[in-house]
Structure 1
Amino acid sequence: MLESLIPANMPSPASLGPVVAIVALSALFRGFTGFGFAIIAVPLLSLALPPLLAVALAAGLQLLGGLMDFRDASRACHWPSVRWLAAGALVSSPFGTLLLAWLPADAARLVLAGACGVAVLALVATPGFRHLPGRATTAAAGVLSGLFNGMAAMPGPPALAYYLALPLQPAQVRASLMVFFLFSAFLSSASLVAIGAVGQREVLMVLAGMPLMLAGSRLGAALFRRAGGAHRNVALATLALVALLTAARGLAGLFGSGP
């Protein structure tokens, strides 16, 4: 009876163990750094799952997690920048999703690794703006975020580079990113539904992963309160490691030595 409710195309039990660990680690990272669930989850999940399924799972979990945080984040975020970022992302996100559906799995893994590497560079070397940039600059950052979002449910690299360069208070930057990531999760989820990438399997996996998302985020937040400013260096080291692992898997597959 229960077995009849489980889709036949569910991942094998052997692959679900790593998926559980990856979701928990990514949620912990999100709570510890205040951003970046998808930046960690998508590249690592693509090592255990097909990239399209990895993106769908990450997008769904990010959507539900963002809804939990929206009430508090909406009070502190910088709404003018969020609106123009969202406008740019709205235009480009569907094109990123179409690119994901078109790319071979190993090529998609290399793109995801590159996106993760861009995030590291953005966090290390982002130049700062002396004044808030104009609408065109903000919308352009949104377009780039939308492409990353549609292709990998990862709007983070361009959005992080933009917000870390703004002369805003850290609390306002954090809240603005959380609100924008929620909007991006809506976009990527809608695009995935439109191309038929979300079905019973994906919904069940998102619902099953939600307790891990909640627990990991809360534990990460508690660790942040104890670790102080060390979270930035931990984030950079983790992102770099994820980029290397994902690139290695993609290259191995392209050259015939991987699954």
Structure 2
Amino acid sequence: MPDLSFLPAGMPSIGAMGPAIAIIGLSAVFRGFTGFGFAIIAVPLLSLALPPLLAVALAAGLQLLGGLMDLPQASRSCHWPSVRWLLAGALLASPLGTLLLAWLPADWARLALAAACGAAVLALASGFGFRHIPGRAATAGAGVLSGLFNGLAAMPGPPALAYYLALPLAPAQVRASLIAFFAFSAMASTASLTVIGAIGWRELLLVLAGLPLMIGGSRLGAALFRRAGGAHRGISLATLALVALLTAARGLSGLIGGP
């Protein structure tokens, strides 16, 4: 056996890193295509191979670095007024979501989130959309929902995605705005994880090791978007529906005493 004593204590085994590499690559490709979805895919799947808190820390760190690298290009076409007010509402409401989580049983919270996601999917699939860009109050309200989702289940994405899919914006502008929103959201989540000690030297090494996969997968996804940008809305809606189904299944499983 090779001498691995130079690695920090608690590093994942070689057997666990194989699936983790594949998951990070797949999630990065999806993120590059849609502008969102890295954590939605990566965290549940990484949790099957790694400790859950490590999976969250790894996904948050990679999303932060990937977002910072993509932000300069995304900033050229993203819709900054909506990004700013969405972030303001999310940052304001995220602590409230955490307080609600302490009061509301986790499984009931998951069912509530699943219902909200499902309602958004049905509305958007039926053709609902804004004729004009909503005002600051409505945009901040969507941000508040993102913050509540973040505090309740570490998932700020579904409300932000539903909001942007309803806007009269081109797919490229929607994608760029989501990249910018999640880049700034990742800053807040990574800072919180660092404060509570969930991100240290071990996690930083793993994030840096996974960064080439994040970059390569995101570039491949971006190339696929340029070839098939028209599929962006359908894939995004399907992902939102899948999130609703999986969240509901997890909540129901907990309520009926499942694993």
Same fold (TM over 0.5): yes
**What amino acid sits opposite 1:148 in the alignment?**
F
Counterpart position of 1:7? 9
Equivalent residue pairs, number? 256
Counterpart position of 1:205? 206
TM-score (norm 2): 0.79
Q: Structure 1: how far apart are the matches of 2:211 and 2:100?
A: 28
Q: 1:243 to 1:135 in 2, by over 3 A?
A: closer
Counterpart position of 2:176? 175
For structure 2, list consecutive stretches of 5 or more residues without a partner in the other structure.
none
Q: 1:241 to 1:82 in 2, by over 3 A?
A: closer
Q: Is the 8 A contact 1:70 1:179 kept in 2?
A: yes
Counterpart position of 1:70? 71
Counterpart position of 2:222? 221
Deviation string 1:215-256 (CA, Å, 9 cap, x unpaired) is: 111112222333452344445445655765677678778877
Counterpart position of 2:83? 82
Deviation string 1:166-197 (CA, Å, 9 cap, x unpaired) is: 22333332222211111101111112222222
**What amino acid sits opposite 1:79 in the alignment?**
W
Could you tell me how far 1:7 is from its partner in structure 2?
2.6
Could you tell me how far 1:131 is from its partner in structure 2?
2.5
Q: Is the 8 A contact 2:171 2:233 kept in 1?
A: no
Q: 1:142 to 1:234 in 2, by over 3 A?
A: closer
Residue 76 of structure 1 aligns to a residue whose secondary structure is coil
For structure 1, list consecutive stretches of 5 or more residues without a partner in the other structure.
none
**What amino acid sits opposite 1:139 in the alignment?**
A
Q: Structure 2: how far apart are the matches of 1:29 and 1:139?
A: 27
Counterpart position of 1:17? 18
Q: Structure 1: how far apart are the matches of 2:250 and 2:22?
A: 18
Q: 1:50 to 1:114 in 2, by over 3 A?
A: farther
Counterpart position of 1:149? 150
Q: Structure 1 residues 163-172 or 229-238, which shifts more?
A: 229-238
Matches for 1:92-241 after TM superposition, within 5 Å = 92-96=93-97, 114=114, 118=118, 124=125, 127-150=128-151, 153-237=154-238
Superposition CA RMSD, Å: 3.6
TM-score (norm 1): 0.79
Q: Structure 1 residues 193-202 or 226-235, which shifts more?
A: 226-235
Could you tell me how far 1:89 is from its partner in structure 2?
1.4
